[in-house]
Structure 1
Amino acid sequence: MSVITNETLREQRKAERKLRRQISDVGGELSQFWRVLAPWLLLVAALVLAPLAWLLTSLGGVQVFTAACIAVAGVVMLGVSVHLTRGRLTLGRAHELFNVSAPVALIAYTVAFGPDKYALIGGGVFGVTSAIVWNRRHTSSAMRELEKVGRGHNAAGHLPDAWRAFAAEHMPQVSDSTLTVFTNTPDVLHAGLELGDGEVPSDLSEQLIEKLTRFAGGIRGGTTLHIGDKLDKIGITVMRTDPLKRPFEWQGPLDPGESIREPIRGLGRYRDGADLTLHLPYVPNLTPDGDDKPQSHMMMIGMSRAGKGEAGEEIDVNVMTRSDSAVVLCDAVKADQQLGVISKGAVYVLDNQNSIRAYFNKLVYATIPARAAYLGDPRRNPLGKVCKEWEPGCGLTWLLVHVYEAAALYNNQDMTKLTERAASVGIELLIEAQKGIHDRVDTNARSNAADVLMFGCKEPDDAALVLRPDLLDAGAAPWVWQNKRAGMVHTVLSHLPAARQAIPARFARKARDGGDVAAALDEYLHLAAPLDPITGATWGEPFERFVASRSAKLNRAPKQYAFAGARGPVLAGAVLLDERPSAPVLVADDRPDVDAGFDLGDPHDDEAEPDEESERAQLTRVAETVVGDMAIALDGSPEAGQVLHQAVDTLERYGDD
């Protein structure tokens, strides 16, 4: 796919200015005068100057040589004329070639053999006729042909006049506007629209955008408007061909082992050729105006088979293979089918509603407070300062909680609270749903998700639930492709300007069997750091069982090693999943060997009895299980929720967090 560079734009504008000088009322007057006078000058040269040239050359005896030189010059002129008129109509081209070749041939003949009355009479009659016809053609159609050639060279000199006539008849809301063409190729039209008095960008409604597309010969859904700070001018881009019509292959993660603070590149590309890039966590001074890019939660909305699953996996793999980030996968509907290969790189996988709801409750009431206390204490975090946002090197793993089929968890208050509280401690919620309506996704959760990936939808009303009105006015139309082009998306990201958000993009297509995802995880997963112990400790016994089960499977599986780079930074106190032992490790004893047998100890020995600390830990686990079960059973009832919180407060008064 070709990308329009600054150099290309400069060349196009230079050609446009040159052609405008040729056809303008001021700069083109002299050019038009010479084009009208040219055939008469050639006729005078053939009838008057040719006999004079024969007389002069006969004095030196060089008539034949001079005639040969004139003939060669005529052939060169004919060849140049053939090249310059290659875009003209057949009749006009033939007429111009006759005007060039006939006078030169008559001049050469006269110089070589002397004046011939029959040749001069015939040349005079046909020359005058041709010159008169030339003048008539030039005044009636030559300028239109020149404009047609100009359209082929990006000038589009006819478009401003055609726009005024078209707008006056079909678009009266903007009939006083003026169109200025910047680039006009068979693939794209870039133009500026200067609005008249009283006209505003919102006058270009969806129907008018379609008429504008029809006027410029664009594809359906291929027109986008660029509205700046002022409301008197609008940038227009009309795509006549779609470079994203055919899918393209995903090349895998581009920056494995880097910090999650670095952008995620190579996910796809926009319709104008720009790379589809995501910035997930907080990044200072990232936005075009120099403001900090805040961390925000993200929603992926689109109808079934619109490409959400593949796009989500590509995002997940990039996060999984960074040095300071991790992914938690939640799917309460079809986890066994959906998560498959991608689950290998997740630090935690939850596959039913009860476990997901209990996990959200722990995130709200345990994980977020623990991480906030750690980030806010300069004595604890390695950065030695109060961290208002998660930052690389703070000692905590940046966490992406990807919720597939989020509609199954509708009305979960803890998920809504996560969108309100989790961003500043380095936890981002990625919610995936087929429709952003209020009975599928909580309205508050939808409002708190500042970043949206809007895939294809069924109707404009579905898009209006998620996209801002100004994006719809600017030409965003995800209902055009629906699910016919998997991966097509509008990237409504908080750090992108509105003009970029309105341009469609397309995620790259991963392998159907997930082989590229599996290969990427096998090659780069060892670069990722483990989950930090502060976060893991707040997830309780269910997470411990998950880790133990996965470790057992990894120890039974054949070992694979990859050498794509150094392992990422290991957090203090963390245990790698693939290094957790599956059985107790025997340590050599330096004491003298008194008995060759094994001393299993007395089953009634006091030392074998659990001490106070073990009993306390057992009590804590039991209390945590009870609270988790209560959270699942009482979810959705405000009155029951108050009882649950009172129970938690009572346990805390006894010293159990």
Structure 2
Amino acid sequence: MSKPKDTAAESERQHRETLEGSSTGKGIAAWVAHRAKPYTPSWILTGAAGVAASAAWVPAHGSAGYGVGLTLGSVALTGATWWAAKATGPQRRLHSAVTVAAGSSWFTAVALSGWNSFTFGAFWLGGSVLALSWNVRQVMRRNPDAVQVAADADGTLLEKVKLAGAKIRNMEVEPNRVTAELVLPAGEMTNDDVTRSLGNIASALDVAPTAVRYLPDPDSARRGDLVIVPRDMLSEVVEWEMPTHVGGSIADPLVIGRYDDGTPLMLWLPGDPKAGRNSTHLLICGISGSGKGDGALNVLCEILGRRDVIVWLSDPKSFQDFGPLRPGLDWAVEGGAPTETMVTALQAVIPARTRWLGAHGYRQWTPQAAEPQTDPAHSCQKGRACGCEGMPFLVGWFEEAANTLRFMGEDAFTGAAQEARSAGMAVVISLQRPSHDQISTSTRASLPSVLAFGLDAKDEGMALPGPVLDAGAHPGAWGNRRPGYCYLVTPGVDEQRYSAPGRTWRFTGRAARVMEQLAAWAVRNGAKVDPVTAKAAAAAVGKAYTERSTGQTDTEAEDGASVYVNDDDAETGADGRVDAEDADLDPNAELGAVPAAMANWTFAGEPAGGPDFTPEEARAAMDAIVAEFEHNGVMVIGPKDVMEHAARFGRKRPWVSGEFRRMVEDGRLAATSKAGRYRIVPAMAGV
């Protein structure tokens, strides 16, 4: 097996020798001479070049032929050095070529003109600088973080892990990172053999299982880069302080932590046609205690700090973690029926947003789409700027989505996720276990990006792609023992980074105040929902959206606490929400007589058979029940939801089912993707 010329092990051996030796005067002199000896070759060569140039001056002085020959020789020697160093690193190759070019040029000048103030100064200053530069390079070869790894890789490591015959062609030693180009014997091994040996390599080097990764060459079945990170630089907890780019665009990267080499951990949600990056949806997963909650807060805080995005968020945990951010959300609901209504609205706005983007010449959402449309190239009016309001990016966030998936069915998000990317939207789904009993394969396939924290080892295959796991990613090794450790797979990130562990920022109690300020900033400076999205959502779910909660909880309202209210409500008051047809009603007037259709209603003590309704009365009763759901903001219902109300006047399931069929035919209800669930068509939307 070939060995690298300069290894960290040799550097470490030389370093240990510098610490040895006698402390007597004679011993110190010997120690200094011995220590200086490795750094003398560059100085000896510099002196030798001076002597040789002086000797060459005698025959070359005044000779034009010698001048031409020396000049051509200098060029040829420099080119040969560049060619011969092609197998080394780029820094060593450049350093060698510059040294040879400078030395040969000076040699030619002295040989032709002799010693003078210029050639002597160039020899004294230039020669010293070049010699010292090589000494500095020798000193910097020692990397204590990677010494043992490089030493083992240069010895019997590959034989120990049953990869005998493999060769290490090039080794790049960086602070806390060793990258070795591995070449396997032709016809005997493949890259799959290396991936199966990663655990053995980690054991041989005595490092963590996630510290060893293999990145196969996509153009070869027997070549790749073996990456070893011997020291865990993520062990230090770094607290979150504030978003990284407040006031920027959602198209800018969301910085949520750092990788194990200290580089930023970042992702993008919108696509970028210039960079060739597709828009994406995001799955956030991790078992309890793995740091998934802090990871979600990192992502959401980055989103809310951008000027051109709105967020719809569902949280069955009653905003336990997201409470301080709630005022900055365009729409916030808890789990169950309100989340089902939000999903219905999300599905309804997709075609409306897609039509708007297409009409304005956008093949996909870009930051320009969020601005007023003053560019004739992005106009819905032929030949002139249309001046339409912009359309901000929309993020639909579903926290603890396992509850929602159980309530709505496993494919609740599949259709929306598949279509939403072209509509300037991103769906974020957060759950603890991305297992087959929690999320369907179709839904998982529609989420191209994943932020995976510690998991049960059985769920790794559902969370991360197979090639990433083969390269050494192993979130099951963390579980909940290393909160915040994660893997990020997403468009825009180099695929070699997919198997590199990262860690998100830690949220503490001190972050709550900053989160409240961030939400207040979003209220004042963030994007407002565009008319197209608002109209489509209102047409689909009516008051559930138009009278949506915007940062106020029922408890806060009852206690009289200071809460955020919708700006439109603050300006117009409650009267601003009165329907036009009710504007002339006097709220203090006596109520009229009860309609005949409802005169026989009773809520207690009704005989088992119930009242004998005429078809018209039954229709009116069912219309009243649906209107009550709509008034309460519950826009997706099923027969089981109506049975409690129907039982008050003695009606049973067959009657309810018949009324559902009738209301579907009348257009008052619309079927959803889940059997037995129907969307209430808002009364105003059908007029």
Cα distance between partner residues in 2 of 1:398 and 1:632: 29
2:204 is aligned with 1:215: yes
**2:311 corresponds to which letter in structure 1?**
V
Cα distance between partner residues in 1 of 2:521 and 2:473: 38
Q: Is the 8 A contact 1:301 1:455 kept in 2?
A: yes
2:280 is aligned with 1:296: yes
Q: Is the 8 A contact 1:327 1:399 kept in 2?
A: yes
Cα deviation code 1:212-242 (max 9, x no counterpart): 1233342332111222222332212212210
Deviation at 1:522, TM superposition (A): 3.7
The counterpart of 1:385, out of the listed 358, 361, 365, is 361
What stretches of structure 2 of length at least 5 have no aligned partner? 15-23, 39-139, 371-389, 577-585, 591-622, 642-656, 671-680
The residue number in structure 2 matching 1:43 is none
The SS at the match of 1:304 is coil
Worse overlay, 527-536 or 428-437: 527-536
The SS at the match of 1:438 is coil
**2:249 corresponds to which letter in structure 1?**
S
The residue number in structure 2 matching 1:408 is 403
Cα distance between partner residues in 2 of 1:404 and 1:158: 42
Cα deviation code 1:133-192 (max 9, x no counterpart): xxxxxxxxxxxxxxxx98767997996896664433x333x3210124634578433322
* Counterparts of residues 597-636 of structure 1 (less than 5 Å): 622=627, 625=630, 631-633=636-638
The residue number in structure 2 matching 1:276 is 265
**2:299 corresponds to which letter in structure 1?**
I
Q: Is the 8 A contact 1:456 1:488 kept in 2?
A: yes
The SS at the match of 1:360 is helix
Q: Is the 8 A contact 1:463 1:479 kept in 2?
A: yes
The SS at the match of 1:484 is coil
Q: Is the 8 A contact 2:211 2:228 kept in 1?
A: yes
The counterpart of 2:454, out of the listed 453, 456, 460, is 456
Q: Is the 8 A contact 1:313 1:342 kept in 2?
A: no
The counterpart of 1:370, out of the listed 335, 339, 352, is 352
Q: Judging changes above 3 Å, is the alpha-carbon distance between structure 1 residues 512 and 645 closer, same or farther for their aligned structure 2 residues?
A: farther
The residue number in structure 1 matching 2:486 is 489
Q: Is the 8 A contact 1:160 1:180 kept in 2?
A: no
* Counterparts of residues 629-648 of structure 1 (less than 5 Å): 631-633=636-638, 648=667
Cα distance between partner residues in 2 of 1:643 and 1:171: 71
Q: CA RMSD in A?
A: 4.5
The SS at the match of 1:546 is coil
* Counterparts of residues 159-198 of structure 1 (less than 5 Å): 165-168=156-159, 170-172=160-162, 174-180=163-169, 182-184=171-173, 187-198=176-187
The counterpart of 2:509, out of the listed 496, 508, 512, is 512
2:565 is aligned with 1:529: no
Deviation at 1:324, TM superposition (A): 1.2
Deviation at 1:258, TM superposition (A): 1.6
**1:496 corresponds to which letter in structure 2?**
V
Deviation at 1:416, TM superposition (A): 2.1
The residue number in structure 2 matching 1:466 is 463
Cα distance between partner residues in 2 of 1:418 and 1:188: 42
* Counterparts of residues 341-360 of structure 1 (less than 5 Å): 341-360=324-343
Cα distance between partner residues in 2 of 1:219 and 1:463: 18
Q: Is the 8 A contact 1:357 1:412 kept in 2?
A: no
The counterpart of 1:582, out of the listed 567, 573, 579, is 573
Cα deviation code 1:41-99 (max 9, x no counterpart): xxxxxxxxxxxxxxxxxxxxxxxxxxxxxx99x7884351364599xxxxxxxxxxxxx
The residue number in structure 2 matching 1:546 is 548
Cα distance between partner residues in 2 of 1:368 and 1:432: 21
Q: Judging changes above 3 Å, is the alpha-carbon distance between structure 1 residues 375 and 579 closer, same or farther for their aligned structure 2 residues?
A: farther
Q: Is the 8 A contact 1:164 1:177 kept in 2?
A: no
Cα distance between partner residues in 1 of 2:508 and 2:522: 18
The SS at the match of 2:630 is helix
Q: Is the 8 A contact 1:412 1:635 kept in 2?
A: no
Q: Is the 8 A contact 2:330 2:550 kept in 1?
A: no
Cα distance between partner residues in 1 of 2:517 and 2:345: 33
The counterpart of 2:295, out of the listed 308, 311, 321, is 311
**1:632 corresponds to which letter in structure 2?**
I
Q: Judging changes above 3 Å, is the alpha-carbon distance between structure 1 residues 313 and 635 closer, same or farther for their aligned structure 2 residues?
A: farther
Deviation at 1:406, TM superposition (A): 0.6
Deviation at 1:370, TM superposition (A): 2.1
Cα distance between partner residues in 1 of 2:662 and 2:588: 46
Cα deviation code 1:466-523 (max 9, x no counterpart): 2111111101011122112211110011222321111001001122363332233345
2:249 is aligned with 1:259: yes
Q: Judging changes above 3 Å, is the alpha-carbon distance between structure 1 residues 329 and 467 closer, same or farther for their aligned structure 2 residues?
A: same
**1:503 corresponds to which letter in structure 2?**
A
The counterpart of 1:419, out of the listed 417, 420, 428, is 417
Cα distance between partner residues in 2 of 1:630 and 1:584: 24
Deviation at 1:602, TM superposition (A): 12
Q: Judging changes above 3 Å, is the alpha-carbon distance between structure 1 residues 235 and 503 closer, same or farther for their aligned structure 2 residues?
A: same
The SS at the match of 2:463 is coil
Cα distance between partner residues in 1 of 2:362 and 2:174: 55
Deviation at 1:581, TM superposition (A): 3.9
Cα distance between partner residues in 2 of 1:496 and 1:450: 13
The residue number in structure 1 matching 2:240 is 250
The SS at the match of 1:530 is coil
Deviation at 1:438, TM superposition (A): 2.0
Cα distance between partner residues in 2 of 1:163 and 1:644: 77
Q: Judging changes above 3 Å, is the alpha-carbon distance between structure 1 residues 227 and 648 closer, same or farther for their aligned structure 2 residues?
A: farther
2:285 is aligned with 1:285: no
Give the share of equivalent positions with the same residue, in percent. Answer: 21
The SS at the match of 1:400 is strand
**1:517 corresponds to which letter in structure 2?**
M
Q: Judging changes above 3 Å, is the alpha-carbon distance between structure 1 residues 580 and 463 closer, same or farther for their aligned structure 2 residues?
A: farther
Q: Judging changes above 3 Å, is the alpha-carbon distance between structure 1 residues 415 and 632 closer, same or farther for their aligned structure 2 residues?
A: farther
The counterpart of 2:313, out of the listed 316, 325, 329, is 329
Q: Is the 8 A contact 1:201 1:227 kept in 2?
A: yes
Cα distance between partner residues in 2 of 1:235 and 1:601: 77
The SS at the match of 1:499 is helix
TM-score, structure 1 as length reference:
0.62
TM-score, structure 2 as length reference:
0.60
Cα distance between partner residues in 2 of 1:17 and 1:504: 25
The SS at the match of 2:426 is strand
Q: Is the 8 A contact 1:324 1:528 kept in 2?
A: yes
Cα deviation code 1:505-558 (max 9, x no counterpart): 100112236333223334564220212232223242012333588499799766
What stretches of structure 1 of length at least 5 have no aligned partner? 1-12, 24-70, 87-148, 378-383, 561-574, 586-599, 605-617
Deviation at 1:649, TM superposition (A): 8.8
